[in-house]
Structures are given as C-alpha cells and as structure tokens.
Amino acid sequence: MKTILGLAAAAIAFAGLAAAPLYLGTYGIGLMIGLIGYVTLASAWALFSGPTRFVSLATVAFFGIGAYTVSVFYESFPPLVVLGLAALIGLGVSLLVGLATLRLAGVYFVIFTFGLAELIRQLVTWYEVNITGTLGRYLFVSYGPEVVYWQLLVLCAVTFGIGYLIQRSRLGLALKMIGDDEVVAEHCGLPTARVKLALFALSSVIITLVGAIQAPRWTYIEPTIVFNPTISFLTLIMALLGGATRLWGPAVGAVPLFLLFEWLSANFPDHYSIILGLLFMAIVFVLPRGVLDFLEGLTARMKSERSRQAAGTAPEHGKGRLAEGEAK
C-alpha cells in the first residue's frame, strides 16, 4: 500500500515536472535544466559513493566526457545515437578507471579520482590544440531547451528507479556490506571488486549522460567549462548535505544548494568559490550524515520524549541526562 502511494506520488510529481516547459519561460527552463541536472548528478554519485563510502571526485571527468562526445559527433549521428555513444565511452572509461582504482583505499581513491578528472581535461586540451587545432567547439542542435529538459527528466526518473530497485535488492545489501567492512563482505562470499566495479560503472554512465544531455545548453564547449572541478565538488556536497545513503537524500541536498549557488554566482561572482568552500566545511561539521538522517534522529527523539511523558516515566539515564544538561 505504502509502495503504491509512493509510486503514485512519484508519477504525479514526474508528470507535473514534465509539464513545466508549458508554463515556464526560457529562464525558468534553463534553471530547471540545471536543477534536474544536479539532482541527477548527486543521485547518480550517491548510487556508488553513498553505500560504499568511496568518495569519488571523478564526477566531472565523466560529465565532461559526455559533453565532449556530443560536441564531436552531434553532426554525424542522430541525437539518441550520440547519447548512446557517450554512454558507451563513459562505460569504457569507468571500467578502466574502476579496475585500476577500486583496490585503492579511502583517501588514495579520492586523490586518484580528482587527478583523473584533471588528466582527462589536460588530454582533451592537448588533443584539441595539437591535433584538431581548435580549443573550443560550437554546438548547434536542432532541438530546443525543452527537449534537453525532458531528456534530463527521464534520466533523472530512471536514476531514481534504479536506486529504488537497488535498495530493495541483494545488490543493496551487498553495497551496505562493502561500506561496512569489505573484509567481512568478502568472507561472506561477496565478490566485492566486481560489485564495486559494476556500481561505479553504472554511476559513471549516468553522470556521462547528464553531461551529454546538457551539452547543447552551452553552444560553445571547451575543456575549462565542461571539466570544471567545481562540478565534482558541488555534486559531492549536495549528496552529503541530503544524505548519500538514502534514495531522496541527494535530491534534498541538491535543490536548495543549486538555487543558492545560482544566486551566489549571479550576485557574488568573485567570492562564490570561497563561500562554496566555507559551506562545504560547515556541512561536514554540522551534518556529517546529512539532513535526512538529522531529521530522522530529531523526530525519533521527539517521539520517544512524548511517549515517555505519556507513560509518566522518568527519562532514562544517559541520554535524558545529557539532554537536560544541554537545556540549561
């Protein structure tokens, strides 16, 4: 019953969002493209990084690969074929990178993925300057922004669908096991390397597609735009703010942060990155496990408080004491 209600709510929300171009102006659609783009990026990032706790900064590497693939091939093939091609390239790169890095632990993985994004940017720049002789590329597609928006919306819905199915499947359990203790997971018979690789590839393909779908928005593409590391950091903060282990967490983080960054970059273009950095630190300090976790803890505490008052019992030792101390 709850599942049916949830699915119905999701379907209605999807229909409402799909109708958005009918009542939004050009600016509104542009904003929605950015917003849905980040919701999808953060959700796709969290598919892999949330449960496994492998923090990836390679987001922009795949995003940029997607965008560049479209800018190179959009005149040669129909749009959907180009998207498929981008997905394939993203898949290939993610499998290579995954095989090379998923054995790395913790901080080494973070550094490697960050380095990877820079490396790919440098490679593309080098190739464009030395082989093709142009740094930027113009990109004029025959369809309007509403098509970009609808494509993104479908990708976003698919991403949520995948996340939902994973959470309810053995794969979801497998990912939690890996995040908890990889040694125990292996000893339970779980091929951890393969599972991590598959999820990393899945997440990377979705991220590649976001870049590919959004590419026409720029009309002019160059490496510094589509391989901008800020995209990786934003995605990461959004997912962490909302809570990366929950289906809706990344979206809950992405919506307010995206709107805030839009506003900041419009009004404080020079200090935008400083504010971004400060915010990043604040989030990690104040809400290390995300807003949803925080809210859940809060409601749980309120509930137990209420039931205790109803039962007329004294607060338990420990937690109750601490709460009293804090109140004073």
Cα(231)–Cα(44) distance, integer angstroms:
13
Check: CB of residue 227 under 8 Å from CB of residue 215. no
Query: Distance of CA 124 to CAs 63, 67, 74, 140, 224, Å?
Result: 13, 12, 17, 20, 10
> Least distance to another protein from the beta carbon of 192, Å?
7
Smallest distance, another protein to C-beta of residue 92, A: 24
Distance CA 247, CA 172 (A): 11
Q: What count of residues does the chain have?
A: 328
Residues near another protein, by CB under 8 A: 170, 173-174, 176-177, 179-181, 183-193
Residue 221: beta bridge partners? 137
Alpha-carbon distance 168 to 194, whole Å?
Answer: 19
CB of 177 to another protein, least distance (A): 5
Of 181 and 305, nearer to another protein (C-beta) is 181
* 28 or 191: CB nearest another protein: 191
Nearer to another protein, 39 or 174 (CB): 174
CB of 174 to another protein, least distance (A): 7
Q: Contact, 172 vs 48, CB < 8 A?
A: no
Q: What is the DSSP letter of 220?
A: E
Q: Is 241 exposed, middle or buried (0-12, 13-18, 19+ CB in 10 A)?
A: buried
CB proximity list for 40: less than 8 A, separation 6 or greater: 152, 155, 156, 159, 206, 210
Q: In the complex with another protein, which residue's Cβ is closer, 129 or 165?
A: 165
Q: How far is the CB of 183 from another protein (least distance, A)?
A: 6
Q: Which is nearer to another protein, 209 or 244 (CB)?
A: 244
Nearer to another protein, 52 or 232 (CB): 52
Q: 192: which 2 tokens?
A: 């951890």
The one-letter amino acid code at 153 reads L
Least distance to another protein from the beta carbon of 179, Å? 7
Output the six-digit token pair for 177: 């096991």
* Nearer of residues 53 and 308 to another protein, judged by Cβ: 53
- The neighbour count for residue 155, using CB atoms within 10 Å, is 21
- Supply φ then ψ for residue 170, to 5 degrees: -60, -30
Nearer to another protein, 192 or 214 (CB): 192
DSSP result, 221-238 = E-HHHHT-THHHHHHHHH
DSSP 130: I
Q: What angle do CA 235, 236, 241 make, to 5 degrees?
A: 100
